[in-house]
Amino acid sequence: MGCPILGPKCSAYYMIISVWGIIMLVLMGIFFQIRTPSLFEDISVDEEEWSNHGMSLDFVKSKYEDNAVNCWIAAALYAVLFVFSFIQQRMNARQTYETS
């Protein structure tokens, strides 16, 4: 294969951060999907834009869904980072095993 890009401690750190990011963002995506009222301040609703759409509930629902999709995309990116860090961790372990 090749030589690792990340060291063993850095790859372990990124794996831990990735797991936390995946859990947090998936849960936030679920909460946005079920339109939790406590997350209303986190959606990007401009008052002028909202009044242009007739202050409809469908507009707010679409903003909640947009945020849910954004959270799931970010969770997928964290999953990619986890896979990359896992591969780097294995490469470091193999390199240490071969040199000893």
Taking only the tens of pLDDT, the chain with its 100 residues reads 577 788 889 999 999 999 999 999 999 999 999 999 898 888 887 778 777 777 788 888 889 999 999 999 999 999 999 999 999 999 888 776 555 5
pLDDT of 93 reads 83
* Exposed e or buried b per residue across 68-86, where buried means at least 16 C-beta atoms within 10 angstroms of its C-beta: beebbebbeebbebbebbe
- What letter does residue 74 receive in the DSSP assignment? H
Q: Which domain holds residue 59?
A: 8-99
- Please report whether residue 2 resides in a domain: no
Residue 51: both structure tokens together:
């009044």
Q: Does residue 94 lie within any of the structural domains?
A: yes
Taking each continuous run of H as one helix and of E as one strand, the counts in the chain are: 3, 0
Number of structural domains, the chain? Answer: 1
> Is the pTM value of this prediction over 0.85?
no
Does residue 3 sit within a domain?
no
According to DSSP, residue 85 is labeled: H
- Any idea which residue has 């999907």 for tokens? 33
Q: CA torsion angle for 36, 37, 42, 48 (degrees, to 10)?
A: 130
Number of CB atoms found within 10 A of residue 92's CB: 19
Three-state DSSP state, 5: coil
